[in-house]
């Protein structure tokens, strides 16, 4: 990225900033590119296996419901361990005097992610595959938390918006392109190749991290508390998803979601939850976490409904449906860098609100498009929504990470990733429940209205700005005050 490297050099000359010791004089955009590639890979791996579940069921001689653990095990491990991973990374004493060493944590996460993916591809039976995918999701949770931290430490604050837009854009693109990539690999090489697709990217990332990052910091044993926290959070999420999944057949299953309430209340009363809750209060951007969840749920619900509606209601082939839906990620990828530059110039919050408004408008037009869909009508509305997502992603990540207390950036990053992954998981479940309860005639319309409503809720949450409280400093993971919150960049 030559223009960005020149911008970084000009910023150092103008402000007198020294070269970043994290990169040792090398271009920081090497690390930004690695963060983007790993974000794409981790999200791709969350969705790529879905296309192969039927083949896995036949090949390993298990029921389709058992085969779903190849996907569900990964997703539940990621969601359950994001917050414990963030607290662990902030809890030791590593780079810059706080947290686990960044280089050591990255090497551990990438190596474990790659090895578990290889073990999953070699699975001779379903139990092996499920355990390998759960373990891979555990390392995936580390990757999700580490990516924004890596970007934040690699670039100066004046370039943070465009840098954050790289992983914030490529991550959702991985989620969108996962089924298409998986379908190609499945047809050409079989389901085991689907689980190996991430290895080349991981090997390159291992080489770059080992060569570029300095040998500072160390790994610290996480202790027993993170496992209890993961069980509580994971149990609550599993109850919600299971209730929504089973509700179309028997609506009474929605009551299963109530089981999540005592689990979450129990977690909030544990000592481990206090630093997380204090980070939310101290940052002054608590609504942004809700906005991230809301728009991710709207995006995932839209993707679920549109793919089914185009094939079922409009009679399009799978390839024609894939080409139509491709309008969203293409527009998102084009506008992602634009959103980062606008955030650096005008501030992250106004840019994020603008992007969310554009996405909400596109989803609303899609929901009101009537019963007779054509590829053109759907494609331009998806492109509009995708362009807004591109404008929104990087600025939102920048807003949260910049407002986080200095020694709690990993916790802030884990909260963003938890909000996003919960939205990705809940969106299709909500849309599927609405579709099933409303019947085939109006189900897709209600699913799209849920998607549009979630996007407008995101706009409201982003536009509502709460002042940062000054009386209560955030706690470190040990429970003691740990510095003051960083102010949100002023809008220029």
Neighbours of 287 (CB within 10 A): 18
Instruction: Give the residue among 397, 405, 422 at the shortest CA–CA distance from 90.
Output: 405
pLDDT of residue 483: 41
CATH architecture group of domain 15-222: Up-down Bundle (1.20)
| d(C-alpha 426, C-alpha 158), whole Å | 35
**CATH architecture, range 282-467:** Up-down Bundle (1.20)
SS3 147: helix
Which distant-in-sequence residues (6+ apart) come within 8 Å of 84 by Cβ? 222, 225, 226, 227, 229, 230, 272
Residue with the two structure tokens 């992954």:
421
Is the CB of residue 104 less than 8 Å from the CB of residue 218?
yes
- The domain ranges of the chain are 15-222, 223-271, 282-467
Q: Collapse the DSSP code of 159 into the 3-class scheme (helix H, G, I; strand E, B; otherwise coil) and give the result.
A: helix
Helices (H), 155-224: 160-189, 191-194, 199-212
Q: Tokens 């949100």 — which residue?
A: 488
pLDDT of 357 above 70: yes
- Equal CATH topology for 15-222 and 282-467: yes
Of 410, 397, 416, which is closest to residue 343 (Cα–Cα)?
Answer: 397
**DSSP secondary structure letter of residue 21:** T
Of these ranges, 146-155, 290-299, 462-471, the one predicted with the greatest mean pLDDT is 290-299
How far apart are alpha carbons 87 and 398 in whole angstroms?
20
Query: Which residue would you say has higher pLDDT here, 315 or 19?
Result: 315
- Dihedral angle sign, alpha carbons of residues 38, 39, 41, 45: positive
At 91 the pLDDT is: 64
Q: Which of 11-15, 131-135, 233-237, 313-317 has the lowest mean pLDDT?
A: 11-15
Q: Report the C-alpha gap between 349 and 346 in whole angstroms.
A: 9
Return the higher-pLDDT residue of 389 and 281: 389
Q: What whole-number distance in Å separates Cα of residue 171 and Cα of residue 178?
A: 11
How far, in Å, CA of 120 to CA of 194, rounded? 10
- CA dist 283 and 395 (Å) reads 16
Most confident of 77-91, 107-121, 216-230, 303-317: 107-121
Distance separating alpha carbons of residues 25 and 240, to the nearest angstrom: 48
Lowest mean pLDDT among 40-44, 304-308, 338-342: 304-308
Helix axes 225-246, 69-91, angle to 10 degrees: 150
Q: CB–CB of 405/486 below 8 Å?
A: yes
Q: Identify the pLDDT of residue 282.
A: 67
Q: Report whether pLDDT(68) > 90.
A: no
Distance between CA atoms of residues 301 and 298, nearest Å: 5
- pLDDT of 448-459, one tens digit each? 888 999 999 999
Q: Which residues pair with 475 in a beta bridge?
A: 481
Instruction: State percent of the chain over pLDDT 90.
Output: 13
Q: How far is CA 48 from CA 127, 194, 352, 396, in A?
A: 20, 7, 28, 26
Helices (H), 368-442: 375-403, 409-438
Query: Tens digit of pLDDT for each residue in 187-223?
Result: 788 889 888 888 998 999 999 888 888 776 666 666 6
Going by pLDDT thresholds of 50, 70 and 90, the confidence category of residue 356 is very high
Global confidence as pTM: 0.70
pLDDT tops 80 at residue 327: yes
**pLDDT for 82:** 83
> Please, how many CA atoms are within 13 Å of residue 454, restricted to the half-sphere of its CB?
29
Tell me what the mean pLDDT of segment 336-346 comes to.
Answer: 88
Residue among 287, 291, 295, 290 at smallest CA distance from 386 = 295
- From CA 328, how far away is CA 307, in angstroms rounded? 12
C-alpha 374: how far from chain center: 31
Supply 341's token pair.
């530059």
Q: What pLDDT digit, counting tens, does each position of 133-188 carry?
A: 989 988 998 888 888 888 888 888 878 888 888 888 888 778 777 767 777 787 78
DSSP letter string over 67-134?
HTHHHHHHHHHHHHHHHHHHHHHHHSB-GGGSBS-HHHHHHHHHHHHHHHHHHHHT-SSHHHHHHHHH
| Contacts with 240 (C-beta within 8 Å, 6 or more apart), sequence order | 257, 260, 426, 429
Closest by CA to 462, choosing from 363, 393, 410, is 393
Radius of gyration of the chain measured on its C-alpha atoms: 22
d(CA 312, CA 51): 17
End-to-end CA distance of the chain: 25
Q: Which residues pair with 481 in a beta bridge?
A: 475
Q: Phi and psi dihedrals of 244, rounded to 5?
A: -70, -35
Distance CA 159, CA 7 (A): 8
């Amino acid at each position: 990225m030559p223009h960005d490297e020149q911008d970084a050099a000009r910023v150092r000359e103008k402000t007198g900033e020294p070269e970043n010791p994290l990169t040792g004089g090398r271009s920081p955009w090497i690390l930004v590119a690695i963060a983007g590639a790993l974000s794409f890979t981790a999200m791709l791996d969350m969705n790529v296996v879905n296309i192969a579940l039927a083949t896995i069921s036949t090949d390993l001689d298990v029921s389709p419901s058992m085969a779903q653990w190849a996907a569900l095990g990964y997703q539940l491990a990621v969601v359950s361990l994001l917050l414990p991973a963030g607290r662990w990374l902030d809890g030791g004493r590593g780079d810059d005097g706080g947290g686990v060493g960044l280089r050591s944590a990255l090497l551990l996460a990438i190596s474990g992610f790659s090895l578990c993916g290889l073990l999953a591809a070699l699975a001779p039976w379903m139990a092996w595959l499920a355990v390998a995918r759960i373990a891979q999701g555990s390392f995936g949770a580390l990757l999700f938390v580490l990516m924004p931290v890596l970007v934040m430490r690699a670039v100066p604050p004046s370039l943070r918006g465009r840098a954050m837009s790289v992983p914030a854009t490529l991550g959702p693109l991985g989620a969108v392109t996962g089924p298409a990539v998986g379908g190609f690999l499945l047809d050409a090489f079989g389901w085991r190749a689907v689980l190996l697709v991430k290895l080349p990217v991981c090997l390159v990332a291992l080489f770059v991290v080992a060569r570029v990052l300095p040998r500072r910091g160390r790994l610290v044993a996480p202790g027993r508390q993170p496992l209890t926290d993961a069980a509580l959070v994971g149990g609550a999420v599993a109850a919600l998803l299971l209730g929504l999944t089973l509700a179309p057949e028997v609506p009474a299953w929605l009551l299963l979601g109530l089981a999540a309430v005592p689990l979450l209340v129990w977690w909030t009363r544990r000592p481990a939850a206090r630093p997380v809750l204090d980070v939310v209060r101290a940052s002054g951007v608590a609504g942004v976490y809700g906005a991230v969840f809301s728009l991710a749920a709207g995006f995932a619900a839209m993707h679920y409904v549109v793919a089914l509606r185009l094939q079922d209601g409009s009679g399009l082939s799978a390839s024609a449906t894939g080409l139509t839906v491709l309008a969203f990620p293409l527009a998102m990828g084009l506008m992602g860098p634009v959103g980062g530059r606008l955030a650096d110039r005008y501030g992250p919050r106004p840019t994020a609100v603008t992007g969310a408004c554009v996405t909400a408008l596109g989803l609303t037009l899609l929901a009101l498009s009537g019963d007779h869909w054509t590829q053109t009508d759907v494609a331009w509305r998806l492109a509009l929504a995708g362009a807004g997502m591109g404008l929104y992603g990087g600025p939102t990540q920048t807003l949260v990470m910049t407002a986080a207390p200095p020694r709690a950036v990993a916790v802030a990053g884990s909260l963003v990733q938890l909000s996003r992954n919960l939205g990705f998981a809940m969106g299709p479940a909500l849309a599927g429940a609405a579709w099933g309860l409303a019947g085939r005639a109006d189900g897709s319309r209600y699913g799209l209205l849920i998607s549009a409503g979630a996007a407008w809720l995101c706009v409201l949450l982003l536009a509502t700005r709460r002042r940062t409280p000054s009386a209560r400093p955030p706690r470190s993971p040990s429970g003691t005050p740990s510095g003051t919150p960083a102010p949100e960049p002023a809008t220029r």
